[in-house]
Amino acid sequence: MAEKTAFKIISKTLRQVINRSSSTLSHAMTSDLAVPGSTVRSFDEIPGPTGIHRWPVIGTLLNFQPFTEFTAENTYQLLRSMYLQYGPIFRLKLGEDTVVLTDPEDVGTVYANEGRCPLRPNLSLRDAYARRNGLTLRDVSTLQGEEWQALRSPLNKLLVRVNAATHYLPAQSQVADDLVNSLAREDLTAEKISELLFRFSAESIGVVCFNSRLGLLQNINEDNAEIQQFLQAAKDNFTALHDSLTGKSLAHTLYRNTTYTQYENSMIVLSQYSRKLITQARQKLDQHRNEQSFNPEKHNLLNSLLSDKSLDDESVSQILESLFIGGTDSTAGSIAALFYNLARNPDKQDKLAAEVKQCTGSASEVTPEMISRMHYLKACVKESFRLHYPASTVFRVLSKDIVVSGYHVPAGVQIFLMNALTCEHHFENPRQYLPERWMRSFEGHLGDSIPKNAVLPFSMGPRNCIGRRFAEQEIYLSAIKVLQKLKIGIADESRDVKFVYRIFLQPEQPIQFTFTKRSEGM
């Protein structure tokens, strides 16, 4: 019986994917034939694995073990190997037909043609979760078209403008102080340091989402079960999403497999906890209104969302869950990469520490004006983004045909923008950590030739990362606060650690940093 059920599921999957692929192929062929005499090469001519590798389902599976050395966890290395084999544009099966672009001009072409309401491939795992639980998706990571634009526009006013994060600077600065106090302890294991960076990121974005401290950096050895479950759920959520996006999980839309179960369980925990915090916030808001002490002009994301009559509590919860989840692993990985680059380049670290001291003096409070003067800090962060790109891929689906690298790509095809590969091959001395390449001369020239559209860690255009301002502020604060008091070192066993992508960048193994008290003169 089990074998028959499995056979039916596989057969159904094959039929669905074959039908979808046939439709896409038909569209591609029709589009290619629509430009007779054109010198543009057809979609089918895009380099990449051919034959059985382009079959539905099987084509995806053939990219990974046991057929190759690659696993879902190192999909980036798979794509890197194809780049070396096929060049700056190639096509393969990753669930569906996928075109991978690495040339910065092609990246610019995609962004220039994405329109007012850019499309992203649907997150099939999240769609399955919503369908099975009777939910209507109401967050900016999943909505498409006019629905997405209607929700994103008001959020832009709260989250995207240049000074959107500065309201939270004092609170996030206190979170950074707690991080420094924790890192100053002796004998911290690599695992504990990794956990602290994750907690710092979660606590920092939690201040924004829930307008209160979650306590993730306080009494870290005495966590209650609720906090532990909450933290683990955030990690499990990314793991499940990664497996669904890379093709490790293909059947989660058909039945509750291991990947789906992991995702659903994590969403239940995250939703319950966030709803609890939102309920508490609404009660405080109602109390302030009753006491006539509520100031609607005061910038506050949570209160602004709760005061929006077009949004119910379910919509508010989904928006904040999405922002919170997206701001944990991603920021923690980027901080780990920055600390790693500074530890391996002590001359750059000392230069940055000197700038921090010059701009902050003896003040314990970090102000927006201080950060605005720290040009070398921003150069250090940009160079860390370039050398250890935060995300391996940005996904787009265009609603119109385009030509990239001389090839025709029809509308509706999944496109991967691989800026991480761009950064490996379009810079001088690409393997060196050189913040100076981002420093402008007195005449306004950069120290190195920076290709346009090469380093876009938060993507660009209407659908850029909505949490960018907060992520940048958290990374700046972590560096400022740590370097005010501590010198970042690294143990020999971690000097050549590899970084991998589990959606966002992470060290393959926790890094054994060392943190020693910085002398008064430095």
Q: Amino acid identity, residue 185?
A: R
**Is 387 in contact with 426 (CB distance < 8 Å)?**
no
* Residue of 411, 406, 399 lying closest to 26 (CA atoms): 411
Chain centroid offset of residue 434 CA: 23
| Cβ neighbours around 431 below 10 Å, total | 8
Q: What is the distance between the terminal CA atoms of the chain, rounded to a whole angstrom? A: 71
Return the amino acid letter for 382: K
Distance from C-alpha of 190 to C-alpha of 196, rounded to nearest angstrom: 10
Q: Which residues of 263-292 are buried (b: 16+ CB within 10 A; e: fewer)?
A: bbbbbebbbebbbebbeebbebbeeeeeee
Long-range contacts of 438-443 (CB under 8 A, 24+ apart): 438/378, 438/379, 438/382, 438/383, 439/375, 439/376, 439/379
Under DSSP, the state recorded for 119 is B
Map tokens 């940055």 to a residue.
352
Q: Copy the structure tokens of residue 388.
A: 């250890």
Beta strands 96-101 and 414-417, pairing class: parallel
Dig out the tokens for 188 from the structure: 């911290």
Helices (H), 327-400: 329-344, 346-360, 368-373, 375-387
Q: Is 380 part of any known ligand binding site?
A: no
Q: What is the DSSP string of 38-71?
A: --SBPGGGS-S--GGGGSTTHHHHTTSTTSSS--
Q: Which helix (H) or strand (E) holds 403?
A: strand 402-404
Residues annotated in the binding site, as ranges?
465
Q: List, as residue ranges, the binding site for heme.
A: 465
